[in-house]
Amino acid sequence: MTPATKIGLSIAVATGLYAISYGALGVAAGLSLWQVMALSLLMFTGGSQFAFIGVLSGGGTPGAAFGAATLLGVRNAVYGMQVKAMLKPRGWKKLVAAQVTIDESTATAAGQQDPEEQKRGFWVAGIGVYVLWNIFTVVGALLGDALGDPKAWGLDGAAVAAFLGLLWPRLKGGESIAIASVCALATVLAIPMVPPGVPILVAALIAGVWGYFGKGPATEGLEPDIEPHTSREDHS
Amino acid sequence: MSALWWWVLAGCAAAYGIKLLGYLVPERILENEKMTRAAGALTIGLLASLTIVNTVASGSEVSFDARFAALVAAAIALLLRAPFLVVVIVGAVAAALVRFLGWG
B25: left (phi over 0), alpha (psi -120 to 50) or beta: beta
CA distance to partner chain B, nearest, from residue A109 (Å)? 16
Instruction: Round the average pLDDT of chain B to a whole number and report it.
Output: 90
Is A192 or B1 the better-scoring residue by pLDDT? Answer: A192
Is residue A102 located within the same domain as residue A203?
Answer: no
Contacts of A146 (CB under 8 A, 6+ apart): none
Task: List the single residue in B with minimal CA-CA distance to A158.
Answer: B92
Judge contact between A155 and A24, C-beta under 8 A: yes
CA distance to partner chain B, nearest, from residue A23 (Å)? 13
Q: What pLDDT score does A218 carry?
A: 61
Distance CA B54, CA B39 (A): 22
Task: Report residue A228's pLDDT band, with 50, 70 and 90 as the boundaries.
Answer: very low
A positions 127-186 inside 8 Å of B (CB): 151-168, 170-171, 176, 179-184, 186
Judge contact between A98 and B16, C-beta under 8 A: yes
**Cβ contact, residue pair A99, B19, below 8 Å:** yes
* Average of per-residue pLDDT across B35-41: 83
ipTM metric: 0.89
Is residue A141 located within the same domain as residue A116?
Answer: yes
Distance CA B7, CA A218 (A): 32
Specify if A20 maps to a domain. yes
Q: What pLDDT score does A162 carry?
A: 87
Domain span including residue A214: 172-220
Size of interface A-B (CB pairs under 8 A): 346
Contacts of A36 (CB under 8 A, 6+ apart): A22, A23, A26, A27, A53, A137, A141
* Average of per-residue pLDDT across B96-102: 91
Q: What pLDDT score does A231 carry?
A: 37
Is residue A39 located within the same domain as residue A85?
Answer: yes
Is residue A53 located within the same domain as residue A120?
Answer: yes
Is residue A114 located within the same domain as residue A190?
Answer: no
A positions 34-73 inside 8 Å of B (CB): 35, 38-39, 42-45, 47-48, 50-52, 54-55, 57-59, 62-63, 65-66, 68-73
- pLDDT of A54 strictly over 60: yes
* Average of per-residue pLDDT across A191-213: 89
End-to-end CA distance of chain B: 36
Is residue A15 located within the same domain as residue A132?
Answer: yes
Specify if A232 maps to a domain. no
Q: Quick one: angle between helices A46-57 and A3-28, nearest 10?
A: 10
Question: Percent of chain A, pLDDT > 70?
Answer: 91
Task: Report residue A35's pLDDT band, with 50, 70 and 90 as the boundaries.
Answer: very high
Query: Which of A18, A45, A82 lies nearest to residue B84, judging by beta carbons?
Result: A18
Q: What pLDDT score does A160 carry?
A: 92
**Cβ contact, residue pair B95, A186, below 8 Å:** no
What are the domain boundaries of chain B?
1-29
Q: pLDDT digits over A136-160, tens only? A: 999 999 998 888 777 778 888 998 9
Report the residue of A41, A94, A105, A160 to disrupt the B interface, i.e. the one with the largest count of B CBs within 10 Å: A160
Distances from the Cα of A48 to the Cα of A65, A219, B61, angstroms = 9, 19, 24
Specify if A8 maps to a domain. yes
Q: What pLDDT score does A68 carry?
A: 92
- Which chain A residues are closer than 8 Å to B26 by Cβ? none
Is residue A81 located within the same domain as residue A125?
Answer: yes
Query: Which of B45, B62, B71 lies nearest to residue A183, judging by beta carbons?
Result: B45
Instruction: Round the average pLDDT of chain A to a whole number and report it.
Output: 87
The total of structural domains in chain A comes to 2
Is residue A62 located within the same domain as residue A34?
Answer: yes
- Which chain B residues are closer than 8 Å to A208 by Cβ? 38, 41-42, 45
**Of A84, A137, A143, which Cα lies nearest the Cα of A109?**
A84
Specify if A235 maps to a domain. no
DSSP 8-state assignment for residue A139: H
Q: What pLDDT score does A108 carry?
A: 87
- pLDDT of A232 strictly over 70: no
- pLDDT of A14 strictly over 90: no
Residue B5, number of CB atoms within 10 A of its CB: 15
Is residue A161 located within the same domain as residue A76?
Answer: yes
Is residue A114 located within the same domain as residue A198?
Answer: no
Is residue A18 located within the same domain as residue A122?
Answer: yes
Distance CA A4, CA A234 (A): 10
Is residue A89 located within the same domain as residue A8?
Answer: yes
Query: Which of A66, A81, A187 lies nearest to residue B30, judging by beta carbons?
Result: A81
**Cβ contact, residue pair B53, A171, below 8 Å:** no
